[in-house]
Structure 1
Amino acid sequence: MEKIFTKKLNITDIERRIVLSENLIKGFPRGHESYLKFKDEDGKVWTFRCRVPPGGSSRPALSGDWFLFVRSKQLKVGDVIEIALDREKDRTGVDQFTIRFKKQLGIN
């Protein structure tokens, strides 16, 4: 497994979409949309919509089931996610990513 992205979540990531690094998905065309598979630490596979907006930004953003993932894992601002490219492909031979998270420790 090759770790390719780490991000501390902000309010936009939690409420709207999570913007990823430009080099996360090399060659992903602007204005294009695709559905990518992410496996969590429990082995559940999530399908997130990935879109690179047309125009200036070439940074892909995840939405769609991303919000179900956020709610399911009770993620909050300050938590950290890590995405890795999983060497194991799904049944159809498509690349699959692994997604993990670390909760920010709060002070009570």
Structure 2
Amino acid sequence: MEKIFTKKLNITDIERRIVLSENLIEGFPRGHEAYLKFKDEGGKVWTFRCRVPPGGSSRPALSGDWFLFVRSKQLKVGDVIEIALDRDKDRAGRLKPARWVSISRTTKS
């Protein structure tokens, strides 16, 4: 697996949406959205809405089931998440979904 993104969560990430790095979705048209599947460390699949706002400096953001994920994992400001891609293919030859491979807690519960 290839780690592609690490972020220390802030209040916006917890309450509204998590903003990602622009280079994560190169070529994705601005002003569009897609539903992306992520698998957590326990194997549960989550579907997050990914939207890239129109404009030159806008960054992609995940929302939708992101809020359920935050509540389920009891994430707080200061926690760190990592996203990794599983480059393996399924039996049909498609790339497997991106996976959350680690969630490390840096704040006290």
Instruction: Name 1:20's counterpart in structure 2.
Output: 20
Q: Structure 1 CA distance, aligned partners of 2:91 and 2:43?
A: 14
How much does 1:17 deviate?
A: 0.3
TM-score by length of 2: 0.89
Deviations 1:19-48 (A, max 9, x none): 000101111110110000100000001010
Q: How many residues align?
A: 107
4+ runs deviating over 6 angstroms: none
Structure 2 segments unaligned to the other structure (5+ residues): none
Q: Which residue of 1 aligns with 2:73?
A: 73
The structure-2 alpha-carbon separation of the partners of 1:29 and 1:101, relative to structure 1 and needing over 3 Å to count, comes to same
Unaligned runs of 5+ in 1: none
| Correspondence list, 1:22-101, <5 A | 22-89=22-89, 93=94, 95-99=96-100, 100-101=102-103
Shift of 1:57: 2.8
Per the alignment, residue 3 of structure 1 pairs with 3
Percent of aligned positions that are identical: 81
Relative distance call for 1:106 and 1:37 in structure 2 (3 A) is: same
Give SS of 1:23's match. helix
Q: Whole-Å Cα distance in 2 between the matches of residues 37 and 52 of structure 1?
A: 16
Q: 1:64 to 1:5 in 2, by over 3 A?
A: same
Instruction: Let me know the Cα RMSD of the aligned residues.
Output: 1.9
